[in-house]
A and B are shown apart, each in its own frame.
Chain A
Amino acid sequence: MTQTEHQKTYPDIWKKFTPGQTLLRYFFYMLAVLIAVWALSDLDITWFYFLDAHKQIADMTVRMWPPDLSFITNLTTPLIETIHIATLGTAGSVIIAFPLAFLAAKNTTYNALTWFIGRLILVTSRSVNTVVWGLLFVAIFGPGPVAGIWAIAFRSIGFVGKLISEAIEEIDPGVVDAMEATGASRLQVLMVGILPQVMPVIVGTTVYRWDINIRESTVLGFVGAGGIGILLYSSINQFLWREVTLTLIAIFCIVILSELLSAMIRNKIS
């Protein structure tokens, strides 16, 4: 027995992908790049603006610093209004979304049509941005926080309703079955069988959406729907950049604080 007879040869080529797979991968890369190139070149972009962008940025930075601290007295009321808009809007959205969620959950809805209607309302609400809702409600109620509250509420219905309806669909059906077996009424089943199970989700979603809404309500003023955005917009339009800086700092603070608060509450729930 010589060694060569026994020497087993092992393959010295190994490829993760077949040539076809490799080709397909590169095809997707190319496709992505092509789409981006097409999109960029088709857009009406004035590349010329890039030339003096750095000057503009430097100029703006100089003009923005230092923040105009005396402006702080004008800020407090709109800041509080911003928080109010977010809170009341969220509260309103929960009240409207709650029944809709039951309509849009497969296991609590009446029939396919009601389910579809529930879903349609939720999807429509989510598809329209808060600011677009703001445009609509400003047209209806005139400028002011009321339009903002409705805008926040209408955008949040879809978000809150979707999450609650998903929670309802995931409840333990055993509890509901057991209750129906004892002859409980529909309302009793709802209050005792379903509600306690989805309550943590409702609270968690509400708090989460509230913190998103704080961020959203900072810009509602751009379309006249109240809050700090009105002030920010007017400062920008009057080129009062040092006021803008202070306003941005204030916005930063309330958004971060609300995020921390919301994370803290949600941590406690789960």
Chain B
Amino acid sequence: MNNPVVDKSAALPKWERIKIINSPRVRLLLFGLIIFYLVVTALTLEVDWGRIANGLPRAGKMFTGMIPPDMSRLELMFSGILESVQMALAASLFGMILAVPIGICAASNLVPRPVYLAGRSIIILTRTFHEIIIAIFFVKIFGFGPLAGVLTLIVAGTSFIAKMVAEDIENMPPGHLEAIRATGASFPKLLLYCVAPQILPRYLGVSIYRLDANIRHSTVVGIVGAGGIGQTLAATFSRYDYDFSCTILIAIISLVFLGEIFSSWIRSYLR
């Protein structure tokens, strides 16, 4: 028997109760620590209990103020919603396009080390900061309005899609790249015949998902003045105009919901 005997017992997983931490002592200790931490932080937070106590009646007042929702200014609401949707659509397309080169640059198995490091840094930097922080900077540079919002969503969307693209490329079997390289194909043709077919389905899926995410985010960048329905919403809150806030919130929830349905419908179609 020269043939290597395959150890079947190693291939079959042994059944056991799933435990995250094996030692029960450590587990108890960890639980204790977490609870202790939560209690301590809850107690040390600077909280004005008097205001909290007033909170409940105030919440009651607010909710009664919200009902019935103010339907007299629907036109204003719809223009805000439309602006949000337009921002999301434009940003999604640009994000999709920009994400491809950046994603390729951030794939370690495809590009030289310096390019890879540059690509990765761009993705990490833009991913770390919340959309609203990015939005503030664009508002400072380009002034108030939807342009800052669109640019924010482009940056955030690009970095999100680029990360997925880079991961997808890195997960490719190395032999596929070897095979196309061995035919004497240049780098662009390698992208065309090896990378593109591999990443295309997930790239489209992620892009559609991002459209949905952009719709969600386009409703908040307005809070710092970057256009969209968020700007209208923030204004109603600062004016205690709660019945109109309620209308806008209902509109946002429906919009996000529709966006989600649309995105999952397209993604199921793509598959």
A residues apposed to B, CB below 8 Å: 32-33, 35-36, 38-40, 42-47, 49-50, 53, 56-57, 60, 81, 84, 87-88, 91, 123-124, 126-129, 131-132, 135-136, 139-142, 144-146, 196-197, 199-200, 203, 215-216, 218-219, 222-223, 232-233, 236, 248, 251-252, 255-256, 268-269
Contact = CB atoms under 8 A, between A and B. Distances in A.
B59 interface: yes
Given A45-B145, A49-B147, A196-B18, A88 B237 contact: no
Interface of B: 17-18, 20, 37-38, 41-42, 45-48, 51-52, 54-55, 58-59, 62, 82-83, 85-87, 89-90, 93-94, 124-125, 128-130, 132-133, 136-137, 140-143, 145-147, 150, 216-217, 219-220, 223-224, 227, 230, 233-234, 237, 242, 249, 252-253, 256-257
B129 A251 contact: yes
16 contacts: A39-B86, A43-B87, A43-B90, A43-B147, A43-B227, A47-B147, A129-B216, A131-B223, A135-B223, A139-B58, A142-B54, A200-B20, A223-B223, A232-B133, A248-B133, A256-B128
A84 B42 CA distance: 8
A216 B217 CA distance: 12
A218 B58 CA distance: 26
B17 to A, nearest CB: 6
A39 B90 contact: yes
Nearest to B85: A39
Contacts of B42: 88
Contacts of B237: 135-136, 139
Contacts of B145: 44-46
Given A84-B45, A128-B249, A196-B17, 11 more contacts: A39-B90, A45-B146, A56-B142, A84-B41, A88-B38, A135-B223, A199-B20, A218-B133, A232-B133, A236-B140, A251-B128
A3 to B, nearest CB: 31
Contacts, number: 164
Given A43-B146, A81-B45, A269-B20, A132 B252 contact: yes
A144 B129 contact: no
B89 to A, nearest CB: 4
Contacts of A91: 38
A129 B143 contact: no
Given A49-B142, A144-B47, A252-B129, A36 B58 contact: no
Contacts of A36: 89-90, 93-94
Nearest to B228: A43
A218 B130 contact: yes
Given A46-B143, A142-B48, A145-B46, A251 B133 contact: yes
Contacts of A256: 124, 128
A132 B233 contact: yes
Given A44-B146, A129-B217, A251-B128, A145 B45 contact: yes
A139 B245 CA distance: 12
Contacts of A84: 41, 45
A132 B220 CA distance: 7
A126 B256 CA distance: 9
B41 to A, nearest CB: 4
A215 B42 CA distance: 20
B237 to A, nearest CB: 5
A199 B217 CA distance: 31
Contacts of B147: 43, 45-47, 49
Contacts of A199: 18, 20
Nearest to A123: B257
Which of A60, A123, A128 gathers the greatest number of chain B CB atoms within 10 Å?
A: A128
A215 B127 CA distance: 10
A119 to B, nearest CB: 11
B215 to A, nearest CB: 10
A255 B128 contact: yes
Contacts of A144: 46-48, 51
B93 A140 contact: no
